[in-house]
Amino acid sequence: KKMELSTTLLILLNIYIGMCEERELYDHLLQNYRVAVRPSAHHNTSLDVTFVLALTQIIDVDERNQVLTTNCWMSQNWRDVHLSWENSQYTYISGIRIPADQVWRPDITLYNNADRQYTTGTLSTNVIISSEGNVTWLSSAIFKSSCLINVEYFPFDEQTCEMKFASWSYDGFQLNLLVEGEAADLSNYVQNGEWDLVEARAERNVVYYSCCQEPYPDITYYLQLRRRPLFYVFNLILPCVLITGIALLSFYMPSDSGEKVTLGITTLLSMTVFLMVIGESMPPTSEKLPLIGLYYGVTISLVSFATGLSVVTLNLHHRGIRGRRIPWIFRFVVFNILAKLLYIKLEEDKHKTRQNGVMPGGVLHPDQEIINGVHGEPQVDRKSEVVPAGLTVLLRKIHQSLETYEERRKLDDAREAIKREWQHCALVIDRFLLLVFVIGTIVATFSILYMSPHTKLFSF
């Protein structure tokens, strides 16, 4: 028991001595330290600062405002000649933690910052100081950087955003900014649901500004992002394809229904609503037209043209009421070429004005046995009895009425045949336009959606 007690007391004593020595070291380092003074061995000597950026998450890409929001960890390393000591003097203390606001720090900022409250988004912790004077400052920040968004291939687009870090007040002769590695640290990166991170390379540049003659080094990180188009395919492109297909079915709708033009106008309104939704999320730029905007524009044009041609086919369908025959060239093209090309079998006109000399309703024609004569002159059969004069007048009137009825029936049959011919013509043209617009829609859809050089339609 005495042995255990003495061991415990010895451990507590060492801890107390260590705490006292760390306090003495802290007081010693900051006794005559000046936070505002650059910790270089000589005022003409440049101070090397190594900068490392670790990208942990892509929070948001605001296409309309062209702002990239990221969560990053930063590591900055430099040597402070005023913060070194001998290990043997302080019980071999090799490192100490000091609040970051009590030592000098490089003023490295994000040049393309797009946040009004830039400083509030940075979490600063203690700096780690070694006995050789090497200072390591680890911090975390949520950056909002400006990024030029190219919406030409939206939603199959790739964006390259820059994050430029450099000292705001020190030039290259006072602070030499160095980069560790050729890419950002992605060991703790969290995947984004909308964007895939293709590349995050780092590049050191030296820039000469118009205000100063001294060089200003900077470290620029290029983040190459590729959009995942699955969400937009199922929420914007697929509804457009279905609406276009429904609009083209107006050519298959019977002309007597009276809803062909109404269907086309309804589909145009639906597609206009979707186009407005796309326009609200895109930046108001006139440099490039988004790919999906081009697709909607083409489909709206096709649907508008199809609606206009539906009016033309409706006019052809009801044109037979006027009694005008189809021009022979038009009839030849429609019935002998298009109908055979589309395998459309039309019903032939089988109406007959007379069958075996009997009019409809079983009425005998006047040139039969009862009434003979070319000009309507009734003649009585010699074998029969003499017909009274009143009956002769009556038979003559009946004969005239039957002739008038026959001529009117022939005229009605001719008009009905012309009407059916125009209706058949409109039917053939409807089927032909349906085939043309279906092929045109399919070709336009795949041509436009495959214009992107980076992503194909079903390559999610």
pLDDT top residue among 458 and 425: 425
Give the pLDDT score at 218: 93
Query: Distance between CA 84 and CA 112 in Å, rounded?
Result: 36
Kindly list the distances between the CA atom of residue 115 and the CA atoms of 68, 111, 138, 142, 245, in Å, as whole numbers in the listed order: 10, 11, 21, 10, 46
Query: Distance between CA 130 and CA 94 in Å, rounded?
Result: 6
Give the pLDDT score at 371: 39
Give the pLDDT score at 375: 42
Per-residue pLDDT band for 373 (boundaries 50, 70, 90) equals very low
Query: Distance between CA 337 and CA 317 in Å, rounded?
Result: 19
Rounded to an integer, the average pLDDT of 42-52 is 89
- Which of 72, 66, 128 is closest to 96 using CA atoms? 128
Q: Quote the percentage of the chain above a pLDDT of 90.
A: 21
pLDDT top residue among 226 and 367: 226
Dihedral (Cα; 100, 101, 102, 106), 10-degree rounding:
70
Give the pLDDT score at 15: 52
Give the pLDDT score at 68: 94
pLDDT at 276 over 90: no
Give the pLDDT score at 413: 74
Mean pLDDT taken over the chain: 79
Q: Averaging pLDDT over each range in 58-72, 302-316, 398-412, which range is the top one?
A: 58-72
- b/e per residue 106-123 (b: at least 16 CB within 10 A): bebebbbebbeeeeeeee
Query: Distance between CA 316 and CA 426 in Å, rounded?
Result: 6
Per-residue pLDDT band for 95 (boundaries 50, 70, 90) equals confident
Rounded to an integer, the average pLDDT of 99-121 is 84
Per-residue pLDDT band for 9 (boundaries 50, 70, 90) equals low
Give the pLDDT score at 326: 78
Q: Counting Cβ atoms within 10 Å, is residue 286 exposed (0-12), middle (13-18) or buried (19+)?
A: exposed
Q: What's the whole-model pTM score?
A: 0.72
pLDDT at 13 over 60: no
CA-based R_g, the chain, Å: 46
Rounded to an integer, the average pLDDT of 449-458 is 60
Six-digit token pair at 125?
Answer: 């912790």
